């Protein structure tokens, strides 16, 4: 692909410069001033921002096994529409990628259907059952790390063994922290949930396992990453671990930064795991984002069928979608009010996840083009019926946001381009 993105504001080396991005055979050849050749396709980017492609380290693409929820094609197109050029796919699939033969099934589907880069996680335990370790060695060359996302590894000894194996292999343990010995129901333990007679989720079910795992990290020295933290106490424990010098990172999701349990409605689009927490927890997460305790923002994009999300908070499946609306919401709610600099948001969505998971999608001369182009002045309304994802369930449906992705180029190919009238 030969093209020139002409006249945009390009985010390069921590600064915005006005210029053009020249791409030849899918590779960035120059950034700055220059004249397109007669054979170049010129894309006018005047008044638009050009960012390095975002990376989401926590998505559920549902294939193999659950293509009625999402396919590799629809999930990665959804990512591209949101400005993402790389995603890390969780292993709660059928078959679970707990060995090389099972993982190969997923790798083949990625090769056939993905329009952005997909890095799979291998399971920590066989079948994600928490009884014995998966074949971590066999999968190591092909995975971003290891996770049993969807449930926590309950056994201390098994988690310690997993950490030692991951350390030997130079990989990250990516932990869904949930202590199943504590109340871990559908909704945060709050007055409204009690009035509705809903099953309650004790915040300690998250942070107690974070605390357990950090103890094991001290013993093993492994690289450790905590998924979707939702409680202030989890943030405080991770902050302390970082001060000790432990090799620990964490993520949170847009819904935990922007919503709390006061927003709950008896609707499946508000059911996710972990659940929305208290206003105090939300404020603590924003503080942790601002002080660097939280390293990155990941959507936990988790599509389900309409029927699976039609059972209210009691009977719907856990999970909401987020790839297509994450940036517009974060930009509108955190950047525009002055809480978070735009450069810092790009760091959270690109540089930090790439650094942690050894992903190279840098916007740089000599590299394959991985970038997204945004019209940041365009108001948008979150309309799930316009999503390209098969999933439609989001707590932000109907909300106003700001910014539209008009073009995404992933590994030198156009993965998403907005249709022009």
pTM: 0.97
Structure confidence at residue 33 (pLDDT): 86
Last residue within a domain, chosen from 357, 383, 409: 357
Q: Which residues contact 210 (CB under 8 A, 6 or more apart)?
A: 175, 177, 226, 229, 234, 237, 238
Is residue 104 domain-shared with residue 158, that is, in the same domain? yes
Is residue 327 domain-shared with residue 412, that is, in the same domain? no
Cα dihedral 318/351/329/381 (nearest 10): -100
DSSP annotation of 344 reads H
Structural domain count, the chain: 2
Is residue 372 domain-shared with residue 351, that is, in the same domain? no
Is residue 68 domain-shared with residue 35, that is, in the same domain? no
Which residues have a catalytic role annotated? Answer: 300
Is residue 350 domain-shared with residue 201, that is, in the same domain? yes
Last residue within a domain, chosen from 357, 376, 393: 357
The SS3 call for residue 385 is: helix
Structure confidence at residue 421 (pLDDT): 55
* Cis upstream peptide for 190 (omega within 30°): no
DSSP annotation of 326 reads H
Last residue within a domain, chosen from 308, 340, 357: 357
DSSP secondary structure, 192-235, as one string: HHHHHTPPEE-THHHHHHHHHHHHHHHHH--EEEE-S---HHHH
Domain residues for the domain of 314 are 54-357
Which two three-digit tokens encode residue 337?
Answer: 């009010």
Is residue 26 domain-shared with residue 97, that is, in the same domain? no
Tens digit of pLDDT per residue, the chain (421 long)? 899 999 999 999 899 999 999 999 999 999 998 877 877 899 999 999 999 999 999 999 999 999 999 999 999 999 999 999 999 999 999 999 999 999 999 999 999 999 999 999 999 999 999 999 999 999 999 999 999 998 999 999 999 999 999 999 999 999 999 999 998 999 999 999 999 999 999 999 999 999 999 999 999 999 999 999 999 999 999 999 999 999 999 999 999 999 999 999 999 999 999 999 999 999 999 999 999 999 999 999 999 999 999 999 999 999 999 999 999 999 999 999 999 999 999 999 999 999 999 999 999 999 999 999 999 999 999 999 999 999 999 999 999 999 999 999 999 999 999 987 5
Is residue 340 domain-shared with residue 375, that is, in the same domain? no
Is residue 41 domain-shared with residue 130, that is, in the same domain? no
Is residue 350 domain-shared with residue 384, that is, in the same domain? no
Cβ–Cβ under 8 Å, residues 300 and 58: yes
Give me the CATH number covering residue 201: 3.20.20.140
Is residue 265 domain-shared with residue 305, that is, in the same domain? yes
Is residue 206 domain-shared with residue 265, that is, in the same domain? yes
Give me the CATH number covering residue 380: 2.30.40.10
Is residue 285 domain-shared with residue 389, that is, in the same domain? no
């Amino acid at each position: 692909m030969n093209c020139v993105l002409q006249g945009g504001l390009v985010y390069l080396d921590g600064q915005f410069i006005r210029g053009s991005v020249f791409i030849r055979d899918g590779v960035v050849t120059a950034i700055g001033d220059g004249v397109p050749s007669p054979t170049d396709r010129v894309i006018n980017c005047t008044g638009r921002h050009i960012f390095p492609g975002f990376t989401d380290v926590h998505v559920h693409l549902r294939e193999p096994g659950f293509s009625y929820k999402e396919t590799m094609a629809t999930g990665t197109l959804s990512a591209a529409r949101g400005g993402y050029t790389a995603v890390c796919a969780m292993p709660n699939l059928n078959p679970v990628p707990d060995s090389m033969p099972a993982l190969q099934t997923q790798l083949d589907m990625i090769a056939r259907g993905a329009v952005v880069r997909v890095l799979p996680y291998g399971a920590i335990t066989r079948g994600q059952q928490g009884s014995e370790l998966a074949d971590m060695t066999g999968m190591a060359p092909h995975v971003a790390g290891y996770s049993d996302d969807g449930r926590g590894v309950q056994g201390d000894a098994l988690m310690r063994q997993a950490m030692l194996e991951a350390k030997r292999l130079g990989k990250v343990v990516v932990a869904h922290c949930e202590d199943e010995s504590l109340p871990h129901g559908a909704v945060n333990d709050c007055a409204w949930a009690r009035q509705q007679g809903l099953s309650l989720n004790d915040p300690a079910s998250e942070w107690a396992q974070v605390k357990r795992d950090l103890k094991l990290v001290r013993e093993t020295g492994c690289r450790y990453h905590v998924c979707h933290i939702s409680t202030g106490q989890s943030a405080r424990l991770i902050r302390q671990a970082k001060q000790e010098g432990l090799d620990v990172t964490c993520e949170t999701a847009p819904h935990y930064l922007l919503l709390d349990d006061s927003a709950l409605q008896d609707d499946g689009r508000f059911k996710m795991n972990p659940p929305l927490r208290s206003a105090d927890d939300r404020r603590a997460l924003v503080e942790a984002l601002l002080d660097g305790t939280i390293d990155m923002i990941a959507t936990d994009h988790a599509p389900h069928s309409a029927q699976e999300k039609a059972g209210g908070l009691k009977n719907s499946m856990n999970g909401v979608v987020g790839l297509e609306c994450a940036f517009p919401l974060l930009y509108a709610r955190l950047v525009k009010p002055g809480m978070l600099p735009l450069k810092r948001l790009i760091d959270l969505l690109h540089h930090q996840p790439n650094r942690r998971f050894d992903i190279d999608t840098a916007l740089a001369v000599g590299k394959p083009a991985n970038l997204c182009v945004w019209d940041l002045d365009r108001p948008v309304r979150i309309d799930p019926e316009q999503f390209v994802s098969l999933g439609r369930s989001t707590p932000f449906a109907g909300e106003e946001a700001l910014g539209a992705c008009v073009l995404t180029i992933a590994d030198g190919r156009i993965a998403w381009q907005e249709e022009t009238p």
